[in-house]
Amino acid sequence: MLLLVLVLLACVWLVTEPLRGGTPPDPDATERARLETERARLYADLAALTDETRRPDLERRAALTLRALDALPPAPRPARQTRTLALTLLGGAALLTVVGALTFVPRWQLASLDRGEAEDVQATLRLPALKAQAERSGSSAAYMNWGRAAFDSSQYDQAVTAYGNALKLNPRQPEALRRLGILLLTRGEQTGQVPSAEDAQRAALLIRTAAQLAPDEPESQLLLGFALARFGEQQAALTALERYRTLDPRGRDADDLITAIRARQNKSTPGLRVYAARCASCHGPSGAGGIGPSLRASTLSREALTQVITQGKGAMPAYPNLKGTELAALLTVLEGWQQGAARP
Residue 220 · residue 211 · CB < 8 Å? yes
Residue 278 lies in a domain: yes
Look at residue 151 and tell me if it is in a domain: no
Q: Is residue 287 part of a domain?
A: yes
Is 226 a domain residue? Answer: no
Question: What's the pLDDT tens digit per position in 18-43?
Answer: 555 555 677 888 888 898 898 888 88
Residue 279 has pLDDT above 60, yes or no: yes
pLDDT of residue 199: 79
Q: What is the spatial distance between Cα 225 and Cα 233, in angstroms, rounded to a whole number?
A: 9
Residue 184 within any structural domain of the chain: no
pLDDT tens per residue, range 77-101: 555 444 555 556 556 655 655 555 4
Query: Looking at the domain assignment, is residue 298 inside a domain?
Result: yes
* Domain tally, the chain: 1
Tens digits of residue pLDDT in 105-127: 454 454 555 555 656 666 677 78
Distance CA 238, CA 262 (A): 8
Residue 300 located in a structural domain: yes
CA distance 276 to 259: 13
pLDDT of residue 105: 41
Angle at 343 between CA 339 and CA 344, to 5 degrees: 165
Nearest to 73 by CA among 38, 31, 117, 28: 28
Q: CATH no. for residue 307?
A: 1.10.760.10
CA 100 to chain centre: 39
Q: Could you give the angle at the alpha carbon of 318 between the alpha carbons of 312 and 324, nearest 5°?
A: 110
Q: Which domain holds residue 290?
A: 270-344
DSSP-derived 3-state class of residue 316: strand
Vertex 155: Cα angle to 115 and 222 (nearest 5): 65
Q: What share of the chain is helix, strand, coil (3-state, %, to 5)?
A: 75, 0, 25
Instruction: Give the confidence band of 342 by pLDDT, cuts at 50, 70, 90.
Output: very low
Of 155-159, 170-174, 334-338, which one has max mean pLDDT? 170-174
Q: Report yes or no: 49 and 55 within 8 Å, Cβ to Cβ.
A: yes
Q: According to the model, what pLDDT value does residue 1 have?
A: 47
Helix (H, G, I), strand (E, B) or coil at 313: strand
Per-residue model confidence as pLDDT tens digits over 211-228: 999 999 999 999 999 999
Q: Is residue 331 part of a domain?
A: yes
271: pLDDT confidence band, cut at 50, 70 and 90?
confident
Alpha-carbon torsion 79, 83, 85, 89, what sign? positive
